[in-house]
């Protein structure tokens, strides 16, 4: 079961990176070009929100069934986890930073809907999605990807 969920999580991650990158570029381009906010912009930002939340659900399942997550096994103490870079990445850094990524995307999406004109909408999306994008890229286990 773990292997199947891991494959889904890994391949869905490619889609997440692509969509969040596109949504971030779209928000930055809209802000700097001072263009009107269109339904397409709404859909792009919404799609980024949806794919990241789906990835979170898959990630939560993996967190509880992965052999790399040893919090619940009782075999490792906190000090051991923090001293081992791989264990620290999978047990602490990756989950926390990805949750923060999703929090920033959710906040940006939610706040941009309350803005009435195009420039503030794009500015809000650009700020929050850029922070989320940087966070996301900082804690992807790149060695597993290539």
Q: What is the pLDDT along the chain (146 residues), one digit of tens a residue?
A: 888 999 999 999 999 999 999 999 999 999 999 999 999 999 999 999 999 999 999 999 999 888 888 877 778 888 888 998 988 999 899 999 999 999 999 999 999 999 999 999 999 999 999 999 999 999 998 887 76
Q: What is the pTM of this model?
A: 0.91
Q: Is 34 left (phi over 0), alpha (psi -120 to 50) or beta?
A: left
Q: Determine the pLDDT at residue 30.
A: 97
């Amino acid at each position: 079961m773990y292997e199947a969920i891991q494959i889904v999580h890994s391949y869905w991650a490619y889609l997440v990176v692509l969509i969040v990158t596109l949504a971030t570029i779209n928000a930055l381009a809209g802000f700097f070009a001072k263009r009107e906010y269109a339904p397409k912009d709404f859909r792009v930002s919404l799609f980024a929100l949806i794919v990241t939340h789906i990835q979170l659900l898959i990630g939560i399942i993996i967190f509880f069934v992965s052999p790399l997550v040893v919090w619940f096994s009782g075999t490792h103490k906190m000090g051991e986890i923090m001293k081992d870079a791989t264990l620290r990445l999978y047990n602490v850094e990756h989950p926390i930073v990805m949750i923060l990524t999703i929090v920033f995307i959710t906040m940006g999406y939610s706040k941009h809907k309350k803005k009435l004109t195009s420039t503030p909408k794009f500015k809000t999306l650009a700020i929050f999605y850029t922070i989320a994008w940087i966070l996301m890229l900082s804690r992807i286990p790149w060695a597993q990807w290539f």
